[in-house]
Amino acid sequence: MGTRILVLMIGSGVLVTAGALAEWWWLMGIGAWMLIAAGLLEMIYRP
């Protein structure tokens, strides 16, 4: 589960950065939702 959370966090950082550079709000929104999902998974599945 830890690798999934790490992949979600890295992917969200990439999407938010790419969206900010390209000024595409929908891409930043997807990245933000990925970061929210990673945070929820971290809180729920904490050992």
The residues spanned by each domain of the chain are 2-44
User: Residue 26 corresponds to which tokens in the numbers above?
Assistant: 């929908």
C-alpha dihedral over 20, 24, 30, 35, to 10 degrees?
10
- Convert the pLDDT of each residue in 1-42 to its tens digit: 778 888 989 999 999 999 999 999 999 999 999 999 998 988
pLDDT of residue 25: 94
Predicted TM-score of the model (pTM): 0.79
Cα gap 23→41, rounded to integer Å: 28
Cβ atoms of 5 and 38 closer than 8 Å: yes
pLDDT of residue 28: 93
pLDDT of residue 5: 84
pLDDT of residue 15: 92
